[in-house]
Amino acid sequence: RVAVTERVVGYVSSVRGEHSSRAERQRTTYPEPLFSGAFVTDGVWWRLPRDALLRIPPDKIKEAAWGVLNLVRAMAPSAATCDARDVGGTVIVETSCGSSLFDDDGESTNAGGDDLVVTLCLYDAVPGGVGLASRLFQILGDAWDAALDAVSKCACLEGCPSCVRAGRAHFVETDKKYARVALEAMTAAWLRGA
């Protein structure tokens, strides 16, 4: 079981300049949440293996983890016979002593070092849960294999909605190259039974 607190603290919008064909992303945040809700539900979580963390630059760890989480969440409907919005997720990056590496806005606090712990969590997006997280856990190794396959075969360079920007959290910064490194390490650890 996990306790989930969802907060809407702002939004991201795309703004196209008058003389530009490329849209720029603008992030708007508010000092107080626009919405906040808490509930207890079913969840499953795992940590990125240490060897993955050693192969990913510290400033790319959060983006790599979000890329992995987005991919696995996007696969939830086929694995758990649900809508993609029925599964929530989050990434927690902290030091081994439990202090967060990022503030509430996702900005680095410059804490950390070699003792990072990165936890990815999937949870049923309804109070009390309906067993989706449990079903996803049963096929987690297969989900990582499928996610690694999707990242490896996708022709994009930096990530797109077909790979690391899949699902509801497509606005979160992701890193395709290092998401692949994380998935390779997770799949290897799963096969070793670690």
Check if the beta carbon of residue 23 is closer than 8 Å to that of residue 115.
no
pLDDT above 80: residue 97: no
Q: What is the pLDDT of residues 32-42, one digit of tens each?
A: 877 788 999 99
Is residue 56 pLDDT above 90, yes or no?
A: yes
pLDDT of residue 168: 58
What is residue 117's predicted lDDT score, i.e. its pLDDT? Answer: 92
% of the chain beyond a pLDDT of 70: 84
Domain boundaries, the chain: 41-192
Give the model's pLDDT for residue 180: 92
Residue 111 has pLDDT above 50, yes or no: no
Report the chain's mean pLDDT, rounded to a whole number.
Answer: 81
Q: What pLDDT score was predicted for residue 184?
A: 92
Q: Give the helix/strand (H/E) hosting 89.
A: strand 87-95
Per-residue pLDDT tens over the stretch 1-48: 899 988 777 777 777 766 666 667 777 777 787 778 899 999 999 999
Strand partners, 123: 43, 88
Q: Are the C-beta atoms of 186 and 48 separated by less than 8 Å? A: yes
Contact 147, 175 (CB under 8 A): no
Give me the mean pLDDT over the 146-174 stretch.
81
